Structure 1
């Protein structure tokens, strides 16, 4: 299992790409049974980062399990990726065999913090 905040993973992907060792890093990720991507859309990233993340998720498709957390609805993901076609293709891959869990209401962390005051 591998866990990354999305902004951190995109930064790592960009660094590995520019250093020429992205394929090795991707292989390490693919050796995991599960990749958890936390807080998609929390921090924006550039087009090249969006492309690298798309290609990683495409590699994971039907090979390993992926969990993505986001406060954004799918309809808002194009603001993160900046390309409607890329966003649609990414969502298509993620939801194909997915179990989508949607939460509503107040944040657990916020409620928990208020109860300890």
Structure 2
């Protein structure tokens, strides 16, 4: 999604992207915190979250605990606004343990030996 935001800023189709992200019953943001989030992308995300918060669902995955999410956003005020809308209305599921990719890699190595 962040790549889509950057290219939409360039070609002027940001409003169209915002509308398309507001429509699905479920929007999935996968791996929040993996890449950097620009000021523009953070403000865009805030507007999408704000549109969706009362009528549709949002699923966010991250390798970071929610307590660390604030650090991903360049502007603390925008971070507060996004996290206030997302975290306080959320059903959190925390998963711990060994990485599934690591487990699958071990299985593949064992099969090939």
Larger Rg: 1 or 2? Answer: 2
Match of 1:29 in 2: 21
C-alpha offsets along residues 12-46 of structure 1, whole Å, 9 cap, x if unaligned? 12322332222222222222111000000111132
Q: What's the RMSD between the two structures over aligned residues?
A: 1.7
1:93 Cα deviation (Å)? Answer: 0.8
Output the CA distance in 2 between the equivalents of 1:82 and 1:24.
Answer: 24
Cα contact 1:39–1:69 (8 A) shared by 2: yes
Count of aligned positions: 109
| Partner SS state of residue 59, structure 2 | strand
Cα contact 1:14–1:52 (8 A) shared by 2: no
Unpaired runs of 5+ in structure 1?
1-8
Output the CA distance in 1 between the equivalents of 2:81 and 2:28.
Answer: 19
- TM-score normalized by structure 2? 0.83
- TM-score normalized by structure 1? 0.81
C-alpha offsets along residues 34-85 of structure 1, whole Å, 9 cap, x if unaligned? 1000000111132222222222222221121000000112222222102223
User: Which range is displaced more, 11-20 or 32-41?
Assistant: 11-20
